[in-house]
Chain A
Amino acid sequence: MAWTEKILRVNLSDKTCKEEPLNKEWAQQYLGQRGLATKYLVEEVDPKADPLGPDNKLIFATGPMTGTMASTGGRYSVITKSPLTHCVACSNSGGFIGQELKNAGWDMVIVEGEADSPLYLYIENERAELLPADEIWGTSVWHTDEWLHKRHQDPLLRIAAVGRSAEQGCLYSAVINDLHRAAGRSGVGTVMASKNLKAMAVRGTQGVGNIKDPKRFMQAVNTAKKVLADNAVTGQGLPTYGTQVLMNVINEIGALPTRNAREVQFEGANEISGEAMHEPRPSDGKPNLVTNAGCFACTIACGRISTVDKGHFSVKNKPEYWGASGGLEYEAAWALGTDTGVDDLDALTYANFICNEDGFDPISFGATVAAAMELYGRGVLTTEQTGTPFDFGSAEALVKAAEWVATGEGFGKELGLGSKRLCEKYGHPELSMTVKGQEFPAYDPRGIQGMGLTYATSNRGACHLRSYTVASEVLGIPEKTDPLTAEGKPALVKAFQDATAAVDSSGLCVFTTFAWTLEDIAPQIDAACEGEWTAARLLEMGERVWNLERRFNLAAGVSGKEDTLPKRLLDEPAATGPAKGLVSKLDEMLPEYYQLRGWSSDGEPTPETLQRLGL
């Protein structure tokens, strides 16, 4: 069990909140969170629906491990059709609101329709109501958070909200929860704002139980916790440096996309690395990093809590930014820094604060700024259009761009469209570092070949979190493969994709998989959930989820033709580092990948594959 077996269905058009039972048959096939919510989406939303229209739905989904003591068991996902990619969007977040929803007695909230004026959803255990949000519409996530806590006089309320960027139509806006945790990618926040839903505030005090075998569950949980503690990455690297442990590593292997992926190594990498975040700064002798922080139930605690130097130009005379808040993760530091050529740690930290304060994805934002900087450098964009000199390396431009996207002012409106639409508009689609309209993150496929296939085939557009082959190709987890060859990568990518889809459906954090395999995860799920859950069954379930997502995308009109990469990665060889002279070998990998998946040469699942997976 471990599911609450209850779904909350919220119709914004009729202003109703209704309870319904969870489809337990589906739960056996799709477990929870990513898988199960995608099943609901596929059944209920026309793949051709306008992502920003009333026919799209927005699902907040927990997994069976969410709210339990399993390490990292606090995750939830936001599932919808993406306005950025037109694919299925599934953005995963930690923090505390996922478990609060579960504690309030809900596995999932399905939001449908569209409100005619701004509303927020207030959930207190079984009670759920839609309340007016006019007073907070047009304000930031941080302001909304403060307002709701005051309004309900409840310091323990957990809040997820969208910021001004989403209201202004930025296509990569996030849902931010607990001030600085994000369901970050693919514009799930944009969908929420398009429905006139400003926030979800939750208080749950019912307790999470319904555990099949509590004693066995606690044994499995404790064994697995120990595996995390004893592992060098989850026990030491991540708590000490966060994901930022990677900045120098990836730079050294020549796979750090720099200045809109023109280069693969960044001379300023060390200045913005996890190590640099520990260095005392000259002005006040304090380091950027204040502490690490855990999401709910997480015994890894990779989170960064940081401050910006009070004297830095970005926060001068702005005391509201002098306190500590969510600091740089690797992907954010890469996008805001490496990809734009900015090596100013304070500017990056400030820009990251703004991404959280007004709810937008730092990866897509940074990569779009990088594309704009390249257009500017080529004279395609002028200072008149950008509003400020927009050269690579300009911290001022980065900071202004963040503030503009936050509020939708000036050039911020165009930056909010994302790099694909921006580059197309200005006649240079080849300068957009995107797949299916979504910006790719901090690993260059020329230096880590598996990531090329990962980006090209990801069901939500370019993304590292769908099959993090970096683990194998760079870190040697579970075993070391050569990052420079294509050989064996199709099988590796498929295996990672399926396993990750399973983890994303459970309520656990994918970062556990630096130490855990499905063999560590299955006993925890099996002890908690009805049915027999083995590693093999989880893997098969992951494959089912993958194909389900794929079918939605195909039906939405996103065909196998879009399983490709920006020309730059396919044609322009890396100029320096270990990958010097290499381009992505995607064409060597893709046909084999299709074959392994049981898909046709056009990338469509064959009838036999669908039947095998019960689809």
Chain B
Amino acid sequence: MQRALSIDPGKCTGCLQCELACSFEHTGLFNPSRSVIRVFTFHEEGRFVPYTCTQCAEAWCLQACPVDAIAINAATGAKEINEATCVGCKVCTIACPFGTVNYSQATGKVVKCDLCGGDPQCAEACPTQAITFVDADQTGLERMRHWAVKTDAAAHA
């Protein structure tokens, strides 16, 4: 079974534990600016929205890469950057419609979410379950459960 990140912004408190965990896993430092998951604050609405790569099945980034530096990890389904091959041309950052592939000045390569090889640290660190790592076919299950209870009118009758 492949698993996918499931994000529920309604639960997020904007604490950035996920960004810390991500940067620590990938750079060895606590550095939110190098995290590939980013949490956006919409202050006036009182909303916090985490956002990262959703690992498209037919990934634009992968198709656009001129040197084939992006490959699918068969076990996790993640689209991973091969740093040794990447030439830092940034074509994939243009191709990705969602902005989730980014260039890193520090390394001269691009970076994106690689699901931490199957054990995503953001989901691990999140204190509110706003990010979970679940069956890729069932990312909506929790939300369905939440609404299901409301349709069960008989229980409330």
Please give the residue numbers on chain A whose beta carbons come within 8 Å of chain B beta carbons, in ascending order.
67-69, 71, 96, 99, 103, 156, 179, 204-209, 214, 218, 225, 229, 239, 290-299, 301, 303, 305-307, 323-325
Contact = CB atoms under 8 A, between A and B. Distances in A.
Contacts of A324: 43-46
Contacts of B29: 206-209
Interface stretch (B30-38, B83-91, B138-146, B147-155): B30-38
A513 B111 CA distance: 38
Contacts of B44: 323-325
Nearest to B38: A156
B28 A291 contact: no
Contact of B17 (A69, A179, A323): A69
A293 B13 contact: yes
Contacts of B127: 71, 225, 229, 299, 301
B56 interface: no
User: By CB atoms of chain B within 10 A, which of A67, A207, A301 has the most?
Assistant: A207
Contacts of A298: 13, 15
B96 interface: no
A295 B20 CA distance: 13
Interface residues of B, number: 26
B24 A103 contact: no
A231 to B, nearest CB: 13
A299 B15 contact: yes
Contacts of A291: 13, 46-48
B150 to A, nearest CB: 17
A125 to B, nearest CB: 10
Contacts of B15: 294-299, 301
Given A156-B33, A207-B33, 12 more contacts: A204-B33, A206-B31, A209-B28, A239-B13, A290-B45, A291-B13, A293-B13, A298-B15, A299-B15, A299-B17, A307-B46, A324-B45
B125 interface: yes
A96 B20 CA distance: 13
B13 A179 contact: no
A205 B33 contact: yes
Contact of B30 (A67, A96, A225, A325): A67
Nearest to A323: B44
B118 interface: no
B73 interface: no
A179 B43 contact: yes
B43 A292 contact: no
16 contacts: A69-B20, A69-B21, A69-B24, A69-B30, A69-B125, A103-B31, A103-B32, A205-B33, A207-B27, A207-B30, A208-B29, A225-B127, A297-B15, A298-B15, A307-B46, A324-B45
A297 B34 contact: no
Contacts of A205: 31, 33-34
Given A103-B31, A207-B23, A208-B30, A301 B13 contact: yes
Contacts of B125: 69
Interface string B56-85: 000000000000000000000000000000
B14 A293 contact: yes
Interface in B78-116: none
A296 B30 contact: no
B30 A68 contact: yes
Contacts of B7: none
A303 B31 CA distance: 23
Contact of A103 (B27, B33, B46, B47): B33
Contact of A297 (B16, B28, B46): B16
A239 B11 CA distance: 11
